[in-house]
Amino acid sequence: MTITAAADGSALGNPGPAGWAWYIDDDNWSAGGWKHGTNNMGELKAVLELFRATAGVDDDLLILCDSQYVINSVTKWMPGWKKKGWRKGDGKPVMNVDLLQEIDEAIAGRRYRFEWVKGHVGHVLNEAADVRARGAAEAYQRGLAVPEGPGFAGAVAAPSVTTAPPAVSAATRVAVPAPSDALFDLENEPVHEISLQLTEDEHTRLVTRARGVGQSPEDLLRSLI
């Protein structure tokens, strides 16, 4: 089977409050963003999160994208950039290198292709992703809760490398069983409390993934430890 999804980004002011979104249908979509970012960041992040959300399935992935920058970056330019140490032909650093490196990791072993679609001409999937990306950007602009979406049904959560800055916006506490010689004597096992500090982006991703597998963020973290 082939999963067909649109990925889009939005930035109010460019740069400014920014959002990203991928959309398959009303039951399978996700969105997020930043207080300050660019449209290209949103476009790349949407593609990255789509790959991450669908990592647990073995279907082909068709990505509808209205950004030639994103399509060319992933399908044409990235191999050359990697060989040059993530620098362009003129020796200057590649823009948005952190997101591109994460995409490079996420696409390893995946079957995918991109299809360019013209934006803002009524393409159903593209418009749905655009509305959600802009909605996320507007939420950051107004200081409102970001509509994150249900995620991908049947997604398999996995730890991911993050390049987010160390600023903390949320904290999650997880109770973890202490080491014990009796591995299966769980009833009387003491617990240790671990405090995790997450950036805004990391917390958004955690909540989205937890929803995708029908777990609370705390239970999902417990399963990864």
SS3 readout for 46-64: HHHHHHHHCCCCCCEEEEE
Q: Is the pLDDT of residue 146 over 70?
A: yes
Q: Is the pLDDT of residue 191 over 90?
A: no
**Which range (68-82, 140-154, 158-172) has the least confidence?**
158-172
**DSSP secondary structure letter of residue 145:** P
Q: Is the pLDDT of residue 63 over 60?
A: yes
| Alpha helix ranges (H) inside the chain | 39-53, 68-72, 78-83, 97-106, 124-142, 200-212, 217-224
- Residue in 42, 46, 2 with CA at minimum distance from that of residue 18: 42
Q: Is the pLDDT of residue 187 over 70?
A: no
Highest averaged pLDDT of the listed ranges 82-86, 156-160, 212-216: 82-86
State if pTM tops 0.75.
no
Domain 2-142 sits in CATH at 3.30.420.10
**DSSP secondary structure letter of residue 85:** T
The alpha carbon of residue 45 and the mean position of all alpha carbons in its chain are separated, in whole angstroms, by 6
Which residues are CB-neighbours of 167 under 8 A, at least 6 positions away? Answer: 199, 200
Q: Is the pLDDT of residue 163 over 70?
A: no
Q: How confident is the model at residue 183 (pLDDT cuts 50, 70, 90)?
A: very low
Give the start-to-end residue ranges of the domains of the chain. Answer: 2-142, 170-224
Q: Is the pLDDT of residue 207 over 80?
A: no
Q: Is the pLDDT of residue 169 over 50?
A: no
Higher pLDDT among residues 162 and 14, named by residue: 14
**Which range (17-31, 54-68, 114-128, 189-203) has the least confidence?**
189-203
Catalytic amino acids?
Answer: 8-9, 43, 66, 120, 130
pLDDT tens-place string over residues 81-137: 999 999 999 999 999 999 999 999 999 999 999 999 999 999 999 999 999 999 999
Q: What is the mean pLDDT of residues 30-59?
A: 97
Rg of the chain in Å (alpha carbons) = 19
pLDDT tens-place string over residues 6-37: 999 999 999 999 999 999 999 999 999 999 99
